[in-house]
Each structure stands twice: as C-alpha cells, then as structure tokens.
Copies of this chain bind each other. A is one copy, B any other.
C-alpha cells in the first residue's frame, strides 16, 4: 500500500524529500511566475531545478500539485501584511506601514506577486475558492476596523474595500509591471531607488488623501 510516492500523504518525509521538494518549488516559482500555469512546462521546471522530469515527478505527481503547493504557501504570507493591521493603532500610521510592508513584498518577492497575478488574470481557476473564503473573510474583518476609524473621525470616509484595492494595485504594480516601470524610468534609473520613490509618492497620495480635514494629523516625520 501507500504507493510510495513522496507526496503529501501521511509519510514522515525524509531529509532528501524536504530538500528536493523545496528545490523544485523554488525553480517552479521562477517558471510559473513568468509563464503562467499553462505556459510553463514540467521540463522547464525540472531543468531549472537541476533534475530530470521523471525525478521531479517522483516528488510531485502532477504539474498541478506543484502549482497548488506554491499558491497555498503564497497566499498565506501574502496576506500577512493585511493581518498585521492593528485595530488599536493609529489609523494613518497603520495604513502607512501596511503600504510599506506591501511595497517591501513587491520588492523582495516579485515572483510570488507575479505568480498570484498570473493566476488571477487567468480567472483564478485554481484559487477562486480561497479568494471567496479566506481572502474575503480577512478583508471583511479589516473593513470593520476601517469603518470604525472613519466613524470616529480619525480617517476620512471612503469605501474601505476600494481603498484596499488601491493599496494592492499600487504596491503590487511594482512587481507585476516591473518591466514597464523600468522601461518608463529608463535603464539609468535601474537601481532599487524606484521603491523609495514609490514609497514617497504613495505616502503623499494615501496619507494626505486619507487624513481627516479638520483634525490636523501629526503625520509627516523624516
């Protein structure tokens, strides 16, 4: 019994299994994030991972299993910044650091961002359910906090969900549309400075866009 395959099922996982599976996921992230699910081939991933296709398939029975493993891990860390919004904090600093964290993720994990973007673009066939449950639930939760802040007059009244969309869009843009950003900024501007510039702009945009007009916020530091 237990077909022996080094897959998810109960078996304890050997050292090699852990290492090789990690290696494969790393390689697959590269490939899936730039070609999408259908556009990526097992051969490509295997080559990127430095092993033969059958060997790769020994660890992940099907192409879809690799993708699923990646997406599941991704979504978890991807939502961490949103989870970290503190209901008891000050609205503007909380939003400010949320934007910061999202921007850092775009800078430090662009492949994950693109993997996600690819999946969504293609209609999210493999994660629709997660979006409708986990994501939506978390958003609903945070929306309550945002609404409270607005009711308390500590945040200007805006549609909280669309506010989140705007934050997601602007920050992830620097990962997903990286080549366009680079093309527009020009190769001379190619350093990582664009993330600092982006942070500055987004601060101005969101913080002065969200500060209540009557109550002058402390805001601007640095």
A166 contacts across to B, CB distance below 8 A: 170, 173, 201-202, 205
Report yes or no: B204 in contact with A120, Cβ–Cβ below 8 A: no
Report yes or no: A205 in contact with B204, Cβ–Cβ below 8 A: no
Asked whether A62 is an interface residue with its Cβ less than 8 Å from the other chain, the reply is no
Report yes or no: A131 in contact with B180, Cβ–Cβ below 8 A: yes
Report yes or no: B131 in contact with A184, Cβ–Cβ below 8 A: yes
7 A-B pairs besides A136-B183, A169-B169 with CB distance below 8 A are A37-B39, A156-B204, A159-B201, A161-B184, A166-B201, A168-B177, A205-B209
Q: How far is the CA of A186 from the CA of B133 in the complex (A)?
A: 10
Binds B, one of A8-16, A66-74, A121-129: A121-129
Asked whether A3 is an interface residue with its Cβ less than 8 Å from the other chain, the reply is no
A35 contacts across to B, CB distance below 8 A: 36, 38, 122
Asked whether A139 is an interface residue with its Cβ less than 8 Å from the other chain, the reply is yes
Q: How far is the CA of A213 from the CA of B221 in the complex (A)?
A: 17
Report yes or no: A39 in contact with B197, Cβ–Cβ below 8 A: no
Report yes or no: B131 in contact with A198, Cβ–Cβ below 8 A: no
